[in-house]
A and B are shown apart, each in its own frame.
Chain A
């Protein structure tokens, strides 16, 4: 194993060193005794699957989460007291660039660059001329041709990312007298939405930054990118360090093995054998968003999983099929009827027996500020029209019955949905959409933020729907979940299907392997 002895990297003090960092969320260990050392001038990768603890670690450094007692943090050899206060990282010479970049699209590049200093240094007069010159100098230094007066919204995605990075570096440098080092820049998954050429440009910028002596922590789930840009990389798995590798001595398989882990134990709740039922659902030439010319078919009663790395387009499929997001082209054939996807709307989809359970539970699936009854009866409210209008008592009774069927706790239909736990809210959402026996049921991350018990309940509801003849499509990054409920899994990369797993191949390990290797070639 290519573990690196950090002490041997030179007499120089590490830019950042973490020892024995743990974090427990409600009994679950998100981080377990994690060590991380980043040297000055190093690009250090931080790899792992969703839920491996990457973001928890980052959030501890950002001062969002307080770690458990006993952890030690040193920055340029100086001990720093944990937990960090929110925003304290600035004084320590740390800067973060998150995936959403934190730029205001309608303001100019210059205004975005300087927003932080405008917020913190009171000034009676801003010399725009001098500010523009300063910005131009910075861009020149990094060999970027960006006009500071352009609104950020008009930049290419990669230029936006670079503006955010340059801003973070400038922040570190402006505070250098205070923390005394070159600083550590933390790039939190900056690449998923960038085209390949953009990623190369971004990496050039990263190399220029470390050439100045600053360090970069590059958070990613993409092994290829980590292989290309990092000097060393630490892999997290289930909250523990699964190894720190020197990149040039490590192969892709070394990384993948540590990311996934060899030993995987999973309990199969539901694993159906494929039936000989007719191919009832077919998608042809679906294009829209990231998705490019995707074809697939499925049978009624089948549960099909869609997965891939973030940004690979799989999660857009349910919304495109439903008409929640306009597709550019493509066709859905359901029970012999052809539906043009460019013209479909949510209303039409519902008429055709298609339902969507979006990932955004309280923003897209149901209204938290309304009672359970109102939420759950919404798709079927016409059934309650009597001679005197809606029969409110019957609606309550119906909501109560659905609550019993889906094990909603507490089953009090007059309660506001907000008052339920995430898992029980999701049961209500699932009940809302499955009650009409849809022909096609589309789900996006159906168990996000859902506890284990409620999760099983959701799986059972989906299994019951498929037994009753629904075709179920489930987009998810939870490989274990896909293994448990899916008959087949399609793996996406760059908007296309790159592999199809079925039967015995549908295992957490195989799915993960195909996702991480999907970028080959």
Chain B
């Protein structure tokens, strides 16, 4: 058979197949079957469901505000809101630190301990050692970076699960904090720090809230508009794909631990400035709210991904609920109910968004 004959034969075969296809299409229409369309969520089109998912948390927050406004009218005052925004600034910063390793697929349980150690160190250096405030703050950031580096080293060099490593370093750092502080609360009398963290208010909201927004803005930019953000996304979602694409996976993971440590150090300074004091234990309860906010945040704005604006919203959503119940006379147990319940429900929701695919934090 010559080449030409084969071409003719092939084309006639294709034509026959196309006829058959037409026939089947006709059949399908006749019996009322529509061509299968992939789910709305999967196709990139703007659909009500998709858009609804993005903004559900905002709507939920608004409903919560209205509900408590009706039940406990005092909660709807600007005084309440401005105090809420002001108080949540440091937690927002902490959550921003957390979503960095979460995005690259690692857990960090040590970030709150890092925050406390950094804040405590800054406080001790500024008071007992009479360091200038600026240097004490730089030291706090440095401690954060060191903590992140240690985490990265153990996770990446020895290939230990980040859960185990950071659980250990968390306890270790708490020990160090107790040791250096002698178990005492350190009180810092620095009007400069207090001024810049809580005093210079805009609309009665302390600067620390705006710092939280600035950090969120920076992380949003890095995640969405830099090649670094792209690399982190691929490392978190497909480590082998990232590796075969030439991304230096270990370096990206190490940098994300270190960045998380740095942001935790920053949060330490802000907590110190907000309270004017630091002790070794009381901030430890913040680990749960940070995780709850990060996971609840991953169901909003960019559903299915840890994202800064979703997390900011989630922090405010959870705090609104807690304050609302407290206005109605509930005790402090509400915090545990809200943060604990919030975390589990948030993770369940984000799994629904991701079609219940297996989560990997290896």
A87 at the interface (CB under 8 A from B): no
A308 at the interface (CB under 8 A from B): no
A418 to B355, CA, bound (A): 11
Chain A window 444-478, contacts with chain B (Cβ cutoff 8 Å), 1 for yes, 0 for no: 00000000000000000000000000000000000
Given contacts A385-B227, A413-B44, contact A369 B10 (CB under 8 A): no
A contact face: mostly helix, strand, loop, or mixed: mixed
The segment out of A130-138, A333-341, A358-366, A500-508 that lies at the interface is A358-366
The segment out of B229-237, B274-282, B342-350 that lies at the interface is B229-237
Chain A window 341-365, contacts with chain B (Cβ cutoff 8 Å), 1 for yes, 0 for no: 0000111011100001010101111
A279 at the interface (CB under 8 A from B): no
A208 to B222, CA, bound (A): 65
Contact call A267/B246, Cβ cutoff below 8 A: no
Contact call B241/A363, Cβ cutoff below 8 A: yes
Given contacts A381-B227, A410-B43, contact A347 B241 (CB under 8 A): no
Nearest-CB residue, chain A, relative to B240: A364
A435 at the interface (CB under 8 A from B): no
With a cutoff of 8 Å between Cβ atoms, the chain A residues found around residue B244 in the complex are 322, 324, 346, 356, 358, 364-365
Nearest-CB residue, chain B, relative to A356: B244
Chain B window 19-51, contacts with chain A (Cβ cutoff 8 Å), 1 for yes, 0 for no: 000000000000000000011001111000000
B248 at the interface (CB under 8 A from A): yes
Contact call B38/A419, Cβ cutoff below 8 A: yes
B175 at the interface (CB under 8 A from A): no
A392 at the interface (CB under 8 A from B): yes
CB within 8 Å of A: which B239-267 residues: 240-241, 243-248
B240 CB contact (under 8 Å) in A267, A351, A363, A412: A363
B226 CB contact (under 8 Å) in A362, A366, A370, A390: A390
Chain A window 367-381, contacts with chain B (Cβ cutoff 8 Å), 1 for yes, 0 for no: 101110010001101
With a cutoff of 8 Å between Cβ atoms, the chain A residues found around residue B233 in the complex are 370, 374
With a cutoff of 8 Å between Cβ atoms, the chain B residues found around residue A382 in the complex are 227
Contact call B234/A378, Cβ cutoff below 8 A: yes
Q: How far is the CB of A24 from chain B (nearest CB, A)?
A: 16
Q: How far is the CB of A359 from chain B (nearest CB, A)?
A: 11
A268 at the interface (CB under 8 A from B): yes
Contact call A374/B230, Cβ cutoff below 8 A: yes
With a cutoff of 8 Å between Cβ atoms, the chain B residues found around residue A370 in the complex are 233-234, 237-238
Contact call B240/A378, Cβ cutoff below 8 A: no
Contact call B44/A415, Cβ cutoff below 8 A: yes
A69 to B4, CA, bound (A): 43
With a cutoff of 8 Å between Cβ atoms, the chain A residues found around residue B243 in the complex are 324, 346
Contact call A378/B245, Cβ cutoff below 8 A: yes
With a cutoff of 8 Å between Cβ atoms, the chain A residues found around residue B248 in the complex are 347
Q: How far is the CB of A119 from chain B (nearest CB, A)?
A: 23
Contact call B246/A350, Cβ cutoff below 8 A: yes
Number of A interface residues in the complex (CB < 8 A): 40
B195 at the interface (CB under 8 A from A): no
With a cutoff of 8 Å between Cβ atoms, the chain B residues found around residue A356 in the complex are 244
B128 at the interface (CB under 8 A from A): no
With a cutoff of 8 Å between Cβ atoms, the chain A residues found around residue B44 in the complex are 371, 412-415
A346 to B234, CA, bound (A): 15
Q: How far is the CB of A460 from chain B (nearest CB, A)?
A: 14
A389 CB contact (under 8 Å) in B38, B221, B304: B221
A346 CB contact (under 8 Å) in B9, B225, B246: B246
Contact call B6/A267, Cβ cutoff below 8 A: yes
Nearest-CB residue, chain B, relative to A349: B246
Contact call B43/A415, Cβ cutoff below 8 A: yes
With a cutoff of 8 Å between Cβ atoms, the chain A residues found around residue B238 in the complex are 362-363, 366-367, 370
A268 CB contact (under 8 Å) in B6, B39, B221, B227: B6
CB within 8 Å of B: which A320-337 residues: 322, 324
Q: How far is the CB of A387 from chain B (nearest CB, A)?
A: 11
A229 at the interface (CB under 8 A from B): no
With a cutoff of 8 Å between Cβ atoms, the chain A residues found around residue B241 in the complex are 363-367
A267 to B45, CA, bound (A): 40
Contact call A390/B224, Cβ cutoff below 8 A: yes
A416 at the interface (CB under 8 A from B): yes
B3 CB contact (under 8 Å) in A268, A345, A414: A268
B43 CB contact (under 8 Å) in A346, A351, A367, A419: A419
A392 to B223, CA, bound (A): 12
Q: How far is the CB of A328 from chain B (nearest CB, A)?
A: 20
Contact call A369/B240, Cβ cutoff below 8 A: no
A124 at the interface (CB under 8 A from B): no
B246 CB contact (under 8 Å) in A347, A358, A410, A412: A347
Given contacts A268-B6, A367-B241, A370-B233, contact A412 B45 (CB under 8 A): yes
Contact call A416/B42, Cβ cutoff below 8 A: yes
A2 to B82, CA, bound (A): 92
A128 at the interface (CB under 8 A from B): no
A360 to B42, CA, bound (A): 22
A25 at the interface (CB under 8 A from B): no
B354 at the interface (CB under 8 A from A): yes
With a cutoff of 8 Å between Cβ atoms, the chain B residues found around residue A378 in the complex are 230, 234, 245
B237 CB contact (under 8 Å) in A345, A367, A385, A392: A367
Contact call A412/B43, Cβ cutoff below 8 A: yes
A485 to B129, CA, bound (A): 75
Nearest-CB residue, chain B, relative to A419: B42
With a cutoff of 8 Å between Cβ atoms, the chain B residues found around residue A322 in the complex are 244
A374 to B294, CA, bound (A): 23
A268 to B2, CA, bound (A): 11
With a cutoff of 8 Å between Cβ atoms, the chain A residues found around residue B10 in the complex are 267
Q: How far is the CB of A360 from chain B (nearest CB, A)?
A: 8
Contact call A369/B230, Cβ cutoff below 8 A: no
Chain B window 200-227, contacts with chain A (Cβ cutoff 8 Å), 1 for yes, 0 for no: 0000000000000000000001001111
Contact call A392/B224, Cβ cutoff below 8 A: yes
Nearest-CB residue, chain B, relative to A410: B43
With a cutoff of 8 Å between Cβ atoms, the chain A residues found around residue B39 in the complex are 419
A454 to B34, CA, bound (A): 23
A360 to B240, CA, bound (A): 10
With a cutoff of 8 Å between Cβ atoms, the chain B residues found around residue A367 in the complex are 234, 237-238, 241
B227 CB contact (under 8 Å) in A388, A390, A419: A390
Interface centre among B240, B245, B248 (most CB of A within 10 A): B245
CB within 8 Å of B: which A376-422 residues: 378-379, 381-382, 385, 388-390, 392, 410, 412-416, 418-419
With a cutoff of 8 Å between Cβ atoms, the chain A residues found around residue B42 in the complex are 415-416, 418-419
With a cutoff of 8 Å between Cβ atoms, the chain B residues found around residue A347 in the complex are 246-248
Given contacts A367-B234, A378-B230, contact A392 B38 (CB under 8 A): no
Contact call A346/B224, Cβ cutoff below 8 A: no
Given contacts A369-B357, A418-B42, contact A381 B237 (CB under 8 A): no
A364 to B45, CA, bound (A): 27
Nearest-CB residue, chain A, relative to B248: A347
- 26 A/B residue pairs, CB under 8 Å, sorted by A: A267-B10, A322-B244, A324-B243, A345-B246, A347-B248, A350-B246, A351-B246, A356-B244, A360-B240, A364-B241, A366-B241, A370-B233, A371-B44, A379-B246, A385-B226, A389-B225, A389-B226, A390-B229, A390-B230, A410-B43, A412-B44, A412-B45, A413-B44, A414-B43, A418-B42, A419-B39
Please name the 9 residue pairs, one residue from A and one from B, whose CB atoms are nearest each other, closest first: A414-B44, A389-B225, A419-B42, A367-B238, A347-B246, A350-B246, A419-B38, A415-B44, A390-B225
- Kindly list 4 other residue pairs between chains A and B, CB separation below 8 angstroms, not including A267-B10, A365-B244: A350-B245, A374-B230, A378-B230, A419-B38
